[in-house]
Structure 1
Amino acid sequence: MPRSYRHLAGCLLGSALILAFSGHAGAASRHHHASQKAGTIPVELKSQPGTELDRQARSLNADLLEDATRHHEQPIVLTGTAQLAPKQKDTILFVQLQSYRLCGSAGCTTSVYRRNGDRWDTLLDSVNGTIRIARQRHNGMADIIVDGNDRWVFDGQKYQDTLSSP
């Protein structure tokens, strides 16, 4: 590939990542998914520096944050919470780390954790795309819809993908 094309491809990728991080690239996509999934509730992730949620998210992802620091990056930490069970007492924490190194062509990954006494259990690890909470439940917990059509159901311990692998 000629050097000028490689340079152009690199610039386009960089612009796409910047748009994604600033929230512009996904606006049309979020609107489209919202209209398709009227019976779901979006999980809103936002930067909350200095809060207890941010502190917990950073602790749960310390290894990824340390690796990013070694590569001279300062990821943006986004957090959110949602109720996944009717009488839920434990905190459900959604965490997304955003940086050039941690995000790929499919976007940035989000992980889901549940507070269990003095520890956190991973319920869902590293999914890409928008996240919505469905009204349907399995084993007492609401289904999670990832990227508009990928349904994850709770098996009593963790969330399992319902899409069959190719």
Structure 2
Amino acid sequence: MILSHHRFTRHLLRSAIIMTMSGMALTIAPAGAASQRHAAHHHRGGQQAGTIPVELKSQPGTELDKQARKLNADLLEDATRHHEQPIVLTGTAQLAPKQKDMILFVQLQSYRLCGSAGCTTSIYRKNGDKWDTLLDSVNGTIRIARQRRNGMADIVVDGNDRWVFDGQKYQDTLNSP
């Protein structure tokens, strides 16, 4: 189903209202540039204690935006074939003490790329001239925990889904025995 620009804008506005009412901060910048900030949800207990939110925002034309678009070229090309222009949100964070490698968080937002669970975010690490995928396609707010495994901070997705670094990539602890 293809939505007109007007209907898509109304859909985004409804989503923004729902997200704001649920405690997730959403900021829309002037001139149609979208900027989403992953803010803390107000969860029960201390689920957010000891974590730092990852801020994702639209940064058109920057080096981060260019790298994000290269890393997700296949998804962006598919969206273009379906007459969509996804919003590319990026952010960086330090996941290890004295970290030298850049960690890039990328989220693509469009009608086709986002579902009922929200839009997916992927995490990449710069490794020389290439990028390694550390975590691919998770849904929900992303926070960085103080706890570390194999030298890298744990990632907490959507308040309670903890991902730990196995030395190469992040693994979901919910799938662990």
With normalisation by structure 2, the TM-score equals: 0.79
**Residue 76 (structure 2) pairs with residue 65 (structure 1):** yes
In the alignment, the residues of structure 1 paired with residue 78 and residue 53 of structure 2 have an alpha-carbon distance, to the nearest angstrom, of 30
User: Is the contact made by 2:41 and 2:159 (CA closer than 8 Å) also made in structure 1?
Assistant: no
Partner in structure 2 of residue 56 of structure 1: 67
Residue correspondences, number? 152
List alignment gaps of at least 5 residues for structure 2. Answer: 1-8, 25-39
List alignment gaps of at least 5 residues for structure 1. Answer: 1-13
Partner in structure 2 of residue 25 of structure 1: 19
Q: CA deviation at 1:18?
A: 3.7
1:2-41 map, 5 Å: 17-20=12-15, 22=16, 25-26=19-20, 28-29=23-24, 30-33=40-43, 36-41=47-52
Q: CA deviation at 1:31?
A: 3.7
**Residue 121 (structure 2) pairs with residue 127 (structure 1):** no
Structure with bigger strand share is 2
Larger radius of gyration: 1
- Percent of aligned pairs sharing the same letter: 82
With normalisation by structure 1, the TM-score equals: 0.84
Partner in structure 2 of residue 158 of structure 1: 169
Partner in structure 1 of residue 58 of structure 2: 47
- Which AA in structure 1 matches 2:42? H
1:39-118 map, 5 Å: 39-118=50-129
Q: What secondary structure is seen at the aligned counterpart in 2 of 1:100?
A: coil
User: Is the contact made by 1:113 and 1:124 (CA closer than 8 Å) also made in structure 2?
Assistant: yes
